[in-house]
Amino acid sequence: MKKLLCVLLSALMILPAFVFAGCGQAEALKFGLGVYTAVSKASDANEDTAGQGKVAITAAAVTVDAAGKIVACVLDTADITVSYTADGKAIANDGFKTKYELGADYNMKTYGGAAKEWFEQADAFETVVAGKTLDEVKALVAAENKGNEEVISAGCTIMIHEFVLAIEKAYNAAAASNATADHALKLGAHTEQSTGDATEDKDGQNQIETTFFAAAVDAEGKVVAASSECVQVKFTFDAKGASTYDLNKAVLGKKEAGAAYNMSAYGTDLNGDGVVKEWNEQAAAFDAACIGKSAAEIASLMGENNYGNADLQSAGCTILVNGLVKAASKIG
């Protein structure tokens, strides 16, 4: 009887530990955003054909668990072509949408003979990625940069290598956060264009700047983790429409460039304290200011002349934030 009593007492002492473990909070995950940019074209204009600059900017946001496995992933690509004429005039685009934003209007079924549209194939690849380590994701790339049999069987028949390169950057950038598996991953993008015609003394430009904002959001739409990035590509050309853009140069995001972006050397000291923080530091301040806010509330961070409001500037973000805010507005 004494022995039985000891066993029962031991069981009762152990039971609360199991109950506590079962009722504990969800695991906090690492959260990261990565952007991979590929410039594929910078052609000369002639009398019959406009010169063109073409760039694909692929973004991935991931959450990663303690075992190094990707819990969730979201993807999008801004595929942008800009043009200029044989007399050095920049041509403005009507507008910009990412491939995911275009949805069925991307027309992959009609013109590519695909069974699924681009956004459906991206969704399928995201499903395959979930539960895999980075090495396992990299192993998904097969012949001609398309996916292996697992990827194709899931419904993704497009080239995936740029997805994987963006995921690798996101994975490597992932940091501790309050995101859990219960939170939804969101990704918004906004592109702005600036143009200038060429003269005999100065190259013209057709520049695009694409900003991505990634977030993990709770059931009420409040941001619990955030990260932003901006990629600027300036296609240049002379007065005869000949491209002067260097196709061999690597294109990094502003945050990814870090101190090499050189904002501290050439930026404006709006606070009057003699210090200009680098773009990556200012973007990090913007990201931090978004925590706890909905997409609509993030819009209130906008102040005058496309700069942040007083609170945001006091927090260390004195850059133009219109692109950041517009990208963040799309996560709602």
Spatial separation of the C-alpha atoms in residues 156 and 119, rounded to whole Å: 10
User: What confidence score (pLDDT) does residue 265 get?
Assistant: 73
User: What confidence score (pLDDT) does residue 274 get?
Assistant: 54
Q: How confident is the model at residue 7 (pLDDT cuts 50, 70, 90)?
A: very low
User: What confidence score (pLDDT) does residue 272 get?
Assistant: 58
Per-position DSSP letters for 71-128, written without gaps between them: EEEEEEEEEEEEEE-TTS-EE--S----HHHHGGGG-HHHHH--SS-HHHHHHHHHHH
Residue 141 clears pLDDT 80, i.e. is over it: yes
Q: How confident is the model at residue 17 (pLDDT cuts 50, 70, 90)?
A: very low
For 83-112, write each residue's pLDDT tens digit: 999 999 999 999 999 999 999 999 999 887
Residue 267 clears pLDDT 70, i.e. is over it: no
Mean per-residue pLDDT of the chain: 91
What is the C-alpha R_g of the chain? Answer: 24
More confident residue, 44 or 269: 44
- Burial label for 218, CB within 10 Å (0-12, 13-18, 19+), is middle
> Are the beta carbons of 27 and 176 closer than 8 angstroms?
no
Residue 171 clears pLDDT 80, i.e. is over it: yes
> Are the beta carbons of 151 and 132 closer than 8 angstroms?
no
Q: How confident is the model at residue 276 (pLDDT cuts 50, 70, 90)?
A: confident
> Are the beta carbons of 165 and 204 closer than 8 angstroms?
no
Residue 144 clears pLDDT 90, i.e. is over it: yes
pTM of the shown model: 0.90
* Other Cβ atoms closer than 10 A to 82: 25
Q: Which residues contact 75 (CB under 8 A, 6 or more apart)?
A: 58, 59, 60, 100, 122, 125, 126, 163, 166, 167, 187
Candidates 212, 202, 189; CA nearest to 34 is: 212
Q: How confident is the model at residue 60 (pLDDT cuts 50, 70, 90)?
A: very high
